[in-house]
């Protein structure tokens, strides 16, 4: 029997379970166990689980993210900001900027504090790509893609933020059929790794409204990589400038576009929990 400590946090409503595994003694969690922990009715509930292990070759930490369905994901902009809160709270981030290796490459996260408390974080997400092979999307061009579900035709662009995105422009995301059509769009056969799907509208000067269907998690309150992809696509189309506010169900994110894309927003600690783990069974300690 072993004990596992998890912290639950959210970044504009996109919530994660984060565990520190820096001494090499942490219990390995398979996809089925992660899915059980992330289940909102029978588990703790989260959009994914992040394991923090030691960094190598100059990185402070390594991030491994498993989605709520138990599948491995490359990167989460909101998740890595939650990771930053946890390592800072543990006294493991004495500097303003930490470096984290992810499945999408190395990322730098700047901590924003109110006194000693981390209240927000900004992460350099790396460059956006519109190269089909890098997204990846099986199409000669990632632009002006058309997809139809149940007689509804969508149009938008594919973009890569270390993970794949399909950014669709709709008249009003509030009434878009995200939960009905998201599953089919996620599994569009042109995306060999499936895709995240953003339903986006321009609502003002340098402001977007977005709802998102996340690959492996369903509709979520927010998606950091999705906000970056949406802002980058909108800028390429001449709809916004280099600094964009993206309103999501869980709040607002700030995206700054340049040679790389920077994502900023709040991070909130929800609670900590200790678990007893026996084989593939995990239960909350009384």
pLDDT tens column, 98-147: 999 999 999 999 999 998 889 999 999 999 999 999 999 999 999 999 99
pLDDT of residue 114: 92
* Separation CA 235–CA 244 (nearest Å): 9
Q: What are phi and psi of 157, to 5 degrees?
A: -125, 150
Please tell me the predicted confidence (pLDDT) of residue 277: 60
Q: Scan for tokens 């009384």, then name that residue.
A: 286
Nearest-angstrom CA–CA distance, 166 and 185: 8
Average pLDDT, stretch 149-156? Answer: 96
Burial 190-214 (b: 16+ CB within 10 A, else e): bbeebbbbbbbbeeeebebbbbbbb
pLDDT at position 28, please? 80
Mean pLDDT, residues 272-279: 75
Short-list 261, 267, 269, CA closest to 123 = 261
Homologous superfamily of 145-259: Diaminopimelate Epimerase; Chain A, domain 1 (3.10.310.10)
User: What pLDDT is attached to residue 256?
Assistant: 98
Q: Mean pLDDT in the chain?
A: 94
Query: Mean pLDDT across the stretch 150-161?
Result: 97
**Residue 129 phi/psi, 5° resolution?**
-125, 140
CA distance 76 to 65: 8
Task: Assess whether pLDDT exceeds 60 at residue 282.
Answer: no
Residues 275 and 193: their CA atoms lie apart, in Å, by 32
- pLDDT at residue 139 in the model: 98
Structure confidence at residue 1 as a pLDDT band (50, 70, 90): very low
Residue 56 has pLDDT above 60, yes or no: yes
Tokens read off for 172: 């009003």
In this structure, the strands spanning 48-54 and 14-20 are parallel
Q: What is the mean pLDDT of residues 28-35?
A: 92
Closest listed residue to residue 29, CA positions, set 81, 73, 64: 64
Topology match between the domains 2-124+267-284 and 145-259: yes
Do residues 19 and 278 lie in contact, with contact meaning Cβ atoms separated by under 8 Å? no
Backbone phi, psi, residue 81, to 5°: -75, -35
How sure is the predictor about 76, in pLDDT bands with cuts at 50, 70 and 90?
Answer: very high
How much of the chain, in percent, has pLDDT values that exceed 90? 90
Give residue 22's pLDDT: 93
Q: Cα–chain-centroid distance for residue 69?
A: 14
Q: What is the pLDDT of residues 172-186, one digit of tens each?
A: 999 999 999 999 999
Report, as an integer, the average pLDDT of 196-206: 97
Output the CA torsion sign for 188, 142, 221, 81: positive
In this prediction, residue 286 has a pLDDT band, given cuts at 50, 70 and 90, of very low
Contact 116, 87 (CB under 8 A): no
Q: Give, rounded to a whole angstrom, the gap between the first and last alpha carbons of the chain.
A: 15
Query: What's the average model confidence in pLDDT over 202-226?
Result: 97
The residue ranges of every structural domain in the chain are 2-124+267-284, 145-259
Q: CATH 3.10.310.10: does it fit domain 2-124+267-284?
A: yes
Which of the four pLDDT bands, split at 50, 70 and 90, describes residue 279? very low
Q: Find, among 158, 169, 173, the residue nearest to 222 by Cα.
A: 173
pLDDT average, residue stretch 228-249? 98
Instruction: Express each pLDDT in 38-54 by its tens digit.
Output: 999 999 999 999 999 99
- Is residue 6 within 8 Å of residue 18, measured between CB atoms? yes
Residue 134: what pLDDT?
98
Q: Which two tokens stand for residue 6?
A: 């998890």
Alpha helices in 134-246, H assignment, sequence order: 178-186, 224-236
Contact between 176 and 144 under an 8 Å Cβ cutoff? The reply is: no
Confidence (pLDDT) at 278 = 44
Q: What pLDDT is stored for residue 285 in this prediction?
A: 54
Closest CA to 47 of 32, 68, 64: 68
């Amino acid at each position: 029997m072993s004990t596992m400590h998890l912290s639950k946090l959210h970044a504009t409503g996109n919530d994660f379970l984060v565990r520190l595994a820096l001494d090499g003694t942490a219990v390995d969690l398979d996809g089925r166990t992660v899915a059980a922990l992330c289940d909102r009715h029978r588990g703790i509930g989260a959009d994914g689980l992040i394991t923090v292990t030691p960094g190598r070759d100059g990185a402070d930490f390594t991030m491994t993210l498993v989605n709520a369905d138990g599948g491995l994901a490359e990167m989460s902009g909101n998740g890595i900001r939650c990771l930053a809160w946890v390592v800072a709270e543990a006294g493991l981030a004495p500097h303003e900027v930490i470096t984290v290796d992810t499945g999408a490459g190395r990322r730098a996260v700047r901590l924003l504090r109110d006194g000693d408390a981390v209240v927000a974080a900004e992460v350099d997400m790396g460059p956006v790509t519109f190269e089909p092979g890098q997204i990846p999307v099986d199409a000669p061009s990632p632009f002006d893609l058309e997809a139809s579900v149940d007689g509804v035709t969508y149009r938008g662009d594919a973009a890569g933020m270390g993970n794949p995105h399909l950014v669709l422009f709709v008249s009003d995301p509030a009434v878009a059929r995200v939960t009905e059509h998201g599953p089919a769009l996620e599994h569009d056969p042109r995306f060999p790794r499936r895709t995240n799907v953003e339903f986006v509208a321009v609502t003002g000067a340098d402001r977007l409204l977005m709802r998102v269907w996340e690959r492996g998690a369903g509709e979520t309150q927010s998606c950091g990589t999705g906000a970056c992809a949406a802002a980058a696509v909108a800028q390429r189309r001449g709809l916004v400038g280099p600094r964009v506010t993206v309103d999501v169900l869980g709040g607002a994110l700030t995206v700054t576009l340049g040679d790389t894309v920077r994502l900023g927003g709040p991070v909130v600690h929800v609670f900590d929990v200790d678990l007893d783990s026996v084989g593939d069974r995990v239960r909350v300690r009384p």
